[in-house]
Amino acid sequence: MAQIRNLAALLISLCILTGGPPCLQAQFGALVSPTQAPQAQSQEELDAYLQIVSTQSPDQMKKEVDAFAAAFPKSELLGLAYQNQLHACEQLNDFDGMLAAGQKALQANPDNLNTLLTLAPAMASRAGRRPDRDQLLENAEGYARRALDGIEKTRLPHKVSLEHWEIEKHQMQSQAHEVLGIVALQRGQPQAAIPEFQTAVTLSPVPEGIQFLRLGLALAATGQNEAATKNLRQSAQLGPDAVRTLALAQLEKLQNDKVSH
């Protein structure tokens, strides 16, 4: 159990080092029909929203979303505005801000894949020793499962090609399974985490070092050292540097353990 706790701590530091899993790219559900597009009711409302979208500084964006919400509390664009705030907080590494903005974004659009798959990895990775850890892990798992369900039910606008969708779909599914793996690991269930990380690795359109690292760590935690070594080496090869450093450290640890045994 101590080893698993250490792994969980390692995963948290990983997340902070790498800035968390990559941001999800696509959201279709709300826009299958153009008639469902949220409408500004005045030019000033849209001006204010476009100001948010055009802002480069995440700090400024956070403030502008708050100002927008105060000026247009009934705006149909509020959900999108909070989604922007969610990403701004993500860039600022402001986890509590992410939670607050994400919840508001989900209130406006509960099945928004972008929001679900931005919040879920952050919750899973950063639950750590927070007092609300169990709730965060439960939410992360729920959001990941809701996202997987939503991906299957997604209807696309015609402008999205089948080929592009396949890539995006696999990317999103990979992220969701990665979250389920992290949650399992955080709960001290590395055996349950392994198939989730394996699925994440298989589905990812582009091999990601961090996914191989997580899989390697889970395998190591269950004593499958040969498979762990293979994945950790792959992780070290793929990088980036922060991941590579951790993978190499873990490989060295496995090697030392082997020697000492």
**Is residue 158 at the binding interface for another protein, with CB under 8 A as the rule?**
yes
Work out which of 14, 26, 89, 179 binds another protein, going by CB under 8 A. Answer: 26
Q: Indicate the burial class of 161 (C-beta count within 10 angstroms; 0-12, 13-18, 19 or more).
A: exposed
Closest to another protein by CB, 157 or 223: 157
**Is residue 47 at the binding interface for another protein, with CB under 8 A as the rule?**
yes
From the list 214, 213, 218, the residue with the least C-alpha distance to 236 is 213
Work out which of 16, 23, 227, 242 binds another protein, going by CB under 8 A. Answer: 23
Secondary structure letter of residue 35 according to DSSP: G
Q: Which stretch binds another protein (CB under 8 A): 33-41, 126-134, 173-181, 196-204?
A: 33-41
Minimal distance in Å, beta carbon 81 to another protein? 9
Work out which of 5, 6, 53, 237 binds another protein, going by CB under 8 A. Answer: 53
Minimal distance in Å, beta carbon 108 to another protein? 12
**Is residue 88 at the binding interface for another protein, with CB under 8 A as the rule?**
yes
Work out which of 73, 74, 129, 155 binds another protein, going by CB under 8 A. Answer: 155
Work out which of 1, 2, 34, 260 binds another protein, going by CB under 8 A. Answer: 34
What 145-152 contacts at long range (C-beta under 8 Å, 24+ apart), as own/partner pairs, is 145/176, 145/180, 146/111, 146/116, 147/113, 147/116, 147/117, 147/120, 147/172, 147/175, 147/176, 148/173, 148/176, 148/177, 150/29, 150/111, 150/113, 150/116, 151/113, 151/176
